[in-house]
Amino acid sequence: MEIPVIRDVLEESNAIARDNRTAFDRHSVFVINMMSSPGAGKTTILQKTIPILKERSISCAVIEGDITSTIDADRLRPLGVPIVQANTEPFGGDCHVGSHLVQAALKYLDLSSIQILFIENIGNLVCPAEFYLGENRKVVVLSLPEGEDKPLKYPLMFRECHLCILSKLDLAPHLDIDLDLLKSNIHKINGGLDIIHISAKTGEGLSEWVDWLVNRILSLG
Amino acid sequence: MEIPVIRDVLEESNAIARDNRTAFDRHSVFVINMMSSPGAGKTTILQKTIPILKERSISCAVIEGDITSTIDADRLRPLGVPIVQANTEPFGGDCHVGSHLVQAALKYLDLSSIQILFIENIGNLVCPAEFYLGENRKVVVLSLPEGEDKPLKYPLMFRECHLCILSKLDLAPHLDIDLDLLKSNIHKINGGLDIIHISAKTGEGLSEWVDWLVNRILSLG
């Protein structure tokens, strides 16, 4: 009698992620997994970041994760970089981008001509934190209107990430938010997390974020 | 040879939810499942709503869903209503409140003395929409900084809900948001969804929301 073996989903997922990473490393592609709550500003930040990277002659591509629709991909289309829309709906409306979806997306990308690949994950501060996709760095975008307590309430996300972008800085004067408390909460969860303040509206902080990216590409050698 | 039967998780979850509902109906408790992205303002709305309901002699209780921490429950504690903190962390850090957690919470609540039970779900615009907990109504809170496109990108949530609260109305003058487009996007997904604008900061819209609740309690008979 044959005994069926059910592999842990996470084990399978990680194996695919390691394959993705092997492909990225072979071509020295630096991969960022961008995560946040819905509407924290990931797409807007990419809209503002990619032209700056292009000016610095750094080639980019985007895997755009969404449950359904191509709304975000359509917003990025005018930037003229390769974009693959990865919808989780045909796979059951998954609440996060899976490594198998990244693997599928790679068929449509020429890795040899890409220096930075952004994976814009689905807007969700919970589940995406649990899955490794093969990325070099995980970045969480937290918009100021979400409040100071989010790192304490969604600790895994902040524990897993390498950089926290605090977005919508331009709204700070209109919010009852204590930025020092927010930063202290972030570092209570993850003392090593880099923090960059950004207003995509005014442009504040964008060059610091681009420098953070470029320094990490250079370190790939 | 005995054949193991694996029951669909959703089937099991729904069976528990129906038991919850039977208990609610027996005591004429009106139950609201409140959902939103992280930081959309669910707790703040409850902080402002419950005192108004108390003034109108309507008794409330709250099941406070969070992955970890009692931050939100602590904020509601001064209101002097029964609160049960339901953390999903011991169950593996679930990204939504499950019907079994509501069932467990009911052991700590005297349903015969409650007219409205609020279940504050985990901040997540995706997964909580998939699970029936036994509630009478589902309410989604969408904060204006999240943008007009959210109903199109997270359609299940807006399809499942009976009321959409548009929160942080006071920030509207500082955002590039088209409220008519937002409402049209909501109704594109769910033409029957009620919409109420709220600013918990200024109090605007709170009485409309309380009226919405009270009308529905009265209809329970």
pLDDT one-digit tens code per residue, B108-140: 999 999 999 999 999 999 999 999 999 999 999
Nearest CA in chain B to A70: B153
Residue B8 pLDDT exceeds 70: no
The structure's pTM equals 0.91
More confident: B218 or A125: A125
Residue B165 pLDDT exceeds 60: yes
Q: CA-to-CA distance for B156 and B190, rounded, in angstroms?
A: 10
Helix (H) or strand (E) holding B71: helix B71-76
Beta bridge partners, B194, equal: B163
A69: closest CA of chain B, how far (Å):
6
Beta bridge partners, A164, equal: A140, A195
CB B163 within 8 A of CB B145: no
Contact A145 B145 (CB under 8 A): yes
When pLDDT is cut at 50, 70 and 90, the band that residue B92 belongs to is: low
Nearest CA in chain B to A171: B174
* Average pLDDT over every residue of A2-22: 82
What is the interface pTM, i.e. ipTM, of the complex?
0.87
Contact B39 A38 (CB under 8 A): no
When pLDDT is cut at 50, 70 and 90, the band that residue A94 belongs to is: confident
SS3 A94: coil
Which residues of A are less than 8 Å from B67 in CB distance?
126, 153-156
B62: closest CA of chain A, how far (Å):
18
Size of chain A, expressed as the number of residues it contains: 221
* Average pLDDT over every residue of B138-162: 97
Contact A123 B153 (CB under 8 A): yes
* Average pLDDT over every residue of B44-57: 97
pLDDT one-digit tens code per residue, B169-191: 999 999 999 999 999 999 999 99
* Average pLDDT over every residue of A58-65: 96
Mutate to test the interface with B, among A141, A153, A156 (most CBs of B within 10 A): A153
Put simply, whether A125 touches B (Cβ < 8 Å) is yes
Contact A153 B127 (CB under 8 A): no
When pLDDT is cut at 50, 70 and 90, the band that residue A11 belongs to is: confident
Q: DSSP character for B148?
A: T
Q: Residue A38: which of B69, B146, B171 has the nearest Cβ?
A: B146
Q: DSSP character for B107?
A: T
Q: What is the pLDDT of residue B120?
A: 98
Distances from the Cα of A109 to the Cα of B4, B18, B24, B80, B203, angstroms: 44, 48, 53, 57, 50
Residue A91 pLDDT exceeds 70: no
Share of chain B above pLDDT 70, in %: 95
A26: closest CA of chain B, how far (Å):
34
* Average pLDDT over every residue of B25-32: 97
pLDDT one-digit tens code per residue, A168-201: 999 999 999 999 999 999 999 999 999 999 999 9
